[in-house]
Amino acid sequence: MDLLNTLVEKGLRRELPTREEALAVLATSDDDVLDVVAAAGKVRRQWFGRRVKLNYLVNLKSGLCPEDCSYCSQRLGSKAEILKYTWLKPEEASEAAAAGVAGGAKRVCLVASGRGPTDRDVDRVSRTIEAIKEQNEGVEVCACLGLLSDGQAERLRDAGADAYNHNLNTSEGTYGDITTTHTYADRVDTVNKAHAAGLSACSGLIAGMGESDEDLVDVVFALRELDPDSVPVNFLIPFEGTPLAKEWHLTPQRCLRILAMTRFVCPDVEVRLAGGREVHLRSMQPLALHLVNSIFLGDYLTSEGQAGKTDLEMIADAGFEVEGSDTTTLPEHRAAGGGCGSVCGDGDSGGCASEAAEARTTAAPAGEASAARTDLVAVRRRGAGTDLAPNA
């Protein structure tokens, strides 16, 4: 397929595909999905070999969020029966993080619900970061606390944070349909604050919220423009009690196409398979390892994930290896702070910037909708905030 050969060549050169090429990946048929995976896998192996980085989530504060993000079980007005608790103490969070590190996690992601941290919250998280770093030599710590105010990213950096996560989630054109209590521009501003403070920026998306192919391409091109080091790709977990509980548009094949498109647009970036993989990829999860170079180990914020032991077995059985703490994740040109470099200008957008959104198609093309698998959506009842052992 000429399209895939072209995309492989561009990916090996770190060259931005055209929007038409990215859309064409999403439009390929299920019959061609293995060809798509094989092509994107060549790009993945060029920059990351067969290494898989493991990340572990610690939910520092669960539920009771004042924001109205439609996809979130912790949102204002959510009726999802999730765990609700206030801030974990630094020693509690450090103990939870240690379980993930013992399971092979190289990065610990500290997440707290809410619009954004107060200065007191930043102090609290800073103590938590220090406690985790003292206990676990060489571990990376990423904070995800919502919208940042001036100076907060620098304080987190000074406390030892390595990265900051704040996802764009969806395209600018449809953002207002998903969230009304803050804007797409607010999210971009926070990613830029993390960059400016010298933190490794982490920003990704959520697929399966009723968006079109054009929306998916828009958000991934926007991420390429922001130039984060890592791009988590989440697949909507339709929690009962949230506005998007009936959104079941994803198939395993569509998930693979979305991951492949992300890899082609962001060839040398840590692409992370994040929430919802067990729900939507199911038995095809091992194929996704040919596209991503990073996954979350065990459970998520409010939902249970695949058993940590099963994650490790899946990685080994698929012929991949867990990345050690002595290995630098990013290719040398990115690890040195080079980012995407001037090569980004070789695509059709006149630089890294994505073009204005085109006319949008229907959200769920014919044949894409899958049956609801509510049996696979399990609320987390163990780990942080409970007396039960974590899944790691």
Q: Percent of the chain scored above 70 by pLDDT?
A: 91
**What are the angstrom distances between the C-alpha of 134 and each of 95, 184, 322?**
12, 36, 23
Residue 256 pLDDT: 98
Question: CA-CA distance, 254 to 367, in Å (whole number)?
Answer: 10
What is the pLDDT at residue 332?
Answer: 93
State the pLDDT confidence band at 360, using cuts at 50, 70 and 90.
Answer: very low
Give me the pLDDT at residue 183, please. Answer: 96
* pLDDT(313) > 50: yes
- The residues assigned a catalytic role are 65, 69, 72, 109, 142, 202, 272
Class of domain 2-329: alpha beta
The closest of 217, 231, 145, 203 to 174, measured between CA atoms, is 217
* 200, β-bridge pairs: 163
**Does residue 166 surpass a pLDDT of 90?**
yes
Q: Report which of residues 361 and 276 the model is more confident about.
A: 276
Give the whole-angstrom CA distance, residue 216 versus residue 203. 14
pLDDT at 354: 32
d(CA 332, CA 211): 35
Distance, CA of 272 to CA of 55 (rounded, Å) = 9
What are the pLDDT digits (tens) for 236-246? Answer: 989 888 888 89
Q: What is the pLDDT of residue 189?
A: 97
Nearest-angstrom CA–CA distance, 199 and 161: 7
Residue ranges per structural domain of the chain: 2-329
**Residue-level pLDDT at 78:** 74
In this predicted structure, what is the pLDDT of residue 338?
53
Are 299 and 383 in contact, with CB atoms under 8 Å apart?
yes
Per-residue pLDDT at 367 exceeds 80: no
Give tens-digit pLDDT for 95-147.
999 999 999 999 999 999 889 999 999 999 999 999 999 999 899 999 999 99
Are 129 and 94 contacting, i.e. CB atoms less than 8 angstroms apart? no
165 pLDDT band, cuts 50/70/90, is very high
In terms of phi and psi (left: phi > 0; alpha: psi -120 to 50; beta: otherwise), the region of 141 is beta
82/311: higher pLDDT: 311
pLDDT at 340: 53
Determine the pLDDT at residue 369. 63
Decide if 16 contacts 347 (C-beta within 8 A): yes
Question: What percent helix, strand, coil does the chain show, rounded to 5?
Answer: 40, 15, 45
Q: Report the b/e string of 167-178 with b at 16+ CB within 10 A.
A: bbbbbbbbbeeb
Residue 291, pLDDT score: 98
97, 108 in Cβ contact below 8 A? Answer: yes
| Amino acid 239: pLDDT | 87
Lowest mean pLDDT among 149-163, 307-321, 323-337: 323-337
Region 76-87 average pLDDT: 80
What's the confidence (pLDDT) of residue 345? Answer: 38
pLDDT at residue 40 in the model: 98
Q: How confident is the model at residue 62 (pLDDT cuts 50, 70, 90)?
A: confident
Helix or strand or coil: residue 184? helix
Lookup: tokens for 82: 């999730």
- Residue 236's contacts (CB-CB under 8 Å, 6 or more residues apart) are 71, 206, 207, 208, 209, 244, 247, 250, 276
Which tokens is 132 given? 């985790």
Tokens 């009726």: give the residue: 79
Identify the three-state secondary structure at position 176: helix
**So what's the pLDDT on residue 337?**
66
Lowest mean pLDDT among 1-5, 82-86, 318-322, 339-343: 339-343
User: Angle at which helices 252-265 and 33-48 pack, to 10 degrees?
Assistant: 40
Mean pLDDT of the residues in the chain? 89
What per-residue confidence (pLDDT) applies to 142?
A: 98
